[in-house]
A and B are shown apart, each in its own frame.
Chain A
Amino acid sequence: MARTEQQSNDRFQGRWFWRYASPAAFYPVAGRIEKLSWALAAILAIVGLYIGFFRAPTDAQQGEVYRVIYIHVPAAWMAMIIYLAMAFWAATGLVLGTRLSFMMSHALAPTGAIMAVIALWTGALWGRPTWGTYWVWDARLTSTLILFFLYVGYIALAAAFDDKKKGDRASALIALVGAVNVPIIYFSVNWWNTLHQGSSVRPGSSSMASIMLTAMLIMTFAFWAYCVAAAMHRLRTQIIEREAETKWVKELVK
């Protein structure tokens, strides 16, 4: 890399993006982002849980069980946001042909699926004392379930091809198709829900005290940091796997 003196120049010409689109160049950057994100996730989770459990009062309507929303709502949000991020990187990969973008999509998918599962599980446990049953066909829970199916489809498709390049592009296309359909599915599930009289009590409704909201927001950032860290770790593993033949990866292991 004899380009060091050009670095500042390149940045202004927009070429920095292309440089970091190379897996070899992004590998150390991803490592730094990962470390920072683990630390952030830990600190934010401690602060958020402290406020949520030791400062925020009991909810007048729901009692103590509302404290589940400190993880339920962030998990549901992350499941949604990660799918969009996945589709964004899939589109970037299809348009620009950058290998790293596809890897980013693959790295995000398992964490997104886990977030969807956590949102469903905690939603069920929150629903039992609040609604009286573990599962209600509530619009948000149902949409999260469908989102989980979309994640499963993406992951299964990416694994179905022996040819990695083909699997990259195929799963990227299905991520895009899913992302285009997600708003339509949300709309139709909402429609269906009002038709069939769903439950009206929802986790994280606007009547929350501001200290509860603060704790929930801090936890959301903690989840965000965790997801970034996990994705970066997975990304680095993928880079090692796919670049195993290159000199720089071989030098990585002594």
Chain B
Amino acid sequence: MSLRLASTAVARREFQLFARRKSDWANPLMFFVIVCSLFPFAVGSESERLRLIGVGVIFVGALLATLLTLPRLFDEDARDGSLDLLLSSNEPLAMLILARVAALSFGIGAPLILAAPLFSFLYALPADVALMLALGVAIAVPTLLLVGAIAAALLVSARGGAILTAVLVLPLTIPTLIFGAGAALKVLFGESPVAELSLQAAYLLFALALSPLAASAALKISTD
């Protein structure tokens, strides 16, 4: 089996699982929706105030929703044995992990990208900011999944894995948070978001290059 076939097979399996178990993508979406709806209760409903915190709330909400799906990357596979198949494959593990993260990015990311602009209207943000937010979330979700794959691979079926994954991953999402939310804020204040956007994309490329390798090394360590 060629590498391309193997990675498509991994990605296809992921999509089939998404189609069969709606909760896999619906639950993170619901989490995001509820988190975003909570904030007005805490800070008040004046549109001026909501507009200022809206970008941050939606961005952090999307990051947390994505974070919740990280255990899905390897934990179930470790339990049902498909992880051993993945590990014993002749194909480079890094590429298979990449295929899996890509599929998960679409499965988790697409609903969030659609929901983010909707919620920007609830936070009294103009349409151009909503679009920029959707773009920022679209870059941030795969970035977090890539970085998170390393931690998820290290903590496959470890006790207290979910919380520890959050502790390990969240500090590393700060660059994508700064640049992604920064781009939307620039649009809000009527400035050009190009610099922030390209830096956020650069961080995604950097993660794309390094984290599949790190994640495969991590998987080998934890399943050793």
Taking Cβ atoms with an 8 Å cutoff, the residues of A that contact B are 146, 149-150, 152-153, 156-157, 160-161, 166, 169-170, 173-174, 176-178, 180-181, 184-185, 187-189, 191-192, 195
Find A153's partner among B160, B167, B214 (CB 8 Å cutoff).
B167
CB pair A170 B168 closer than 8 Å: no
User: What residues of B have a CB within 8 angstroms of the CB of A178 in the complex?
Assistant: 172
Min CB distance B5 to A, Å, is: 30
Find B160's partner among A149, A150, A160, A185 (CB 8 Å cutoff).
A160
CB pair A185 B167 closer than 8 Å: no
CB pair B150 A174 closer than 8 Å: yes
User: What residues of A have a CB within 8 angstroms of the CB of B159 in the complex?
Assistant: 160
Min CB distance B211 to A, Å, is: 8
User: What residues of B have a CB within 8 angstroms of the CB of A174 in the complex?
Assistant: 150-151, 154, 168
Measured between alpha carbons, how far is A149 from B159 in the docked complex, in Å?
20
User: What residues of A have a CB within 8 angstroms of the CB of B174 in the complex?
Assistant: 146, 185, 188-189
CB pair B171 A153 closer than 8 Å: yes
CB pair A153 B168 closer than 8 Å: yes
CB pair B155 A166 closer than 8 Å: no
Taking Cβ atoms with an 8 Å cutoff, the residues of B that contact A are 147, 150-151, 154-155, 158-161, 164, 167-168, 170-172, 174-175, 178-179, 182, 185, 199, 203, 206, 210, 214, 217-218, 221-222, 224
Measured between alpha carbons, how far is A176 from B150 in the docked complex, in Å?
11
Q: Across chains A and B, which 9 residue pairs bring their CB atoms closest together, nearest first?
A: A188-B175, A149-B171, A153-B168, A192-B178, A169-B221, A188-B178, A170-B154, A153-B167, A146-B171
Min CB distance B196 to A, Å, is: 8
Find A160's partner among B164, B182, B214 (CB 8 Å cutoff).
B164
Q: With A173-B218, A192-B178, A192-B182 as given contacts, are A181 and B172 in contact (CB-CB < 8 Å)?
A: yes
CB pair B203 A177 closer than 8 Å: no
User: What residues of A have a CB within 8 angstroms of the CB of B170 in the complex?
Assistant: 149
Q: With A146-B174, A156-B167, A195-B182 as given contacts, are A177 and B214 in contact (CB-CB < 8 Å)?
A: yes
CB pair B158 A160 closer than 8 Å: yes
List 15 additional contacts besides A161-B158, A181-B175; criterion CB under 8 Å.
Answer: A146-B174, A153-B164, A157-B155, A157-B168, A160-B164, A170-B218, A170-B221, A170-B222, A174-B151, A174-B154, A177-B150, A178-B172, A184-B206, A188-B199, A189-B174
Chain B residue nearest in CB terms to A195: B182
Measured between alpha carbons, how far is A211 from B179 in the docked complex, in Å?
41
CB pair A157 B178 closer than 8 Å: no
Chain B residue nearest in CB terms to A94: B217
- The contact sample of 10 A-B pairs, CB cut-off 8 A, is A146-B171, A152-B167, A156-B164, A156-B167, A160-B158, A173-B150, A174-B150, A177-B150, A181-B175, A188-B178
- Most chain-A Cβ atoms within 10 A of its Cβ — which of B170, B171, B222, B224? B171
Min CB distance A99 to B, Å, is: 15
Measured between alpha carbons, how far is A161 from B221 in the docked complex, in Å?
11
User: What residues of B have a CB within 8 angstroms of the CB of A195 in the complex?
Assistant: 182, 185
Measured between alpha carbons, how far is A180 from B214 in the docked complex, in Å?
11
CB pair A185 B154 closer than 8 Å: no
Chain B residue nearest in CB terms to A165: B224
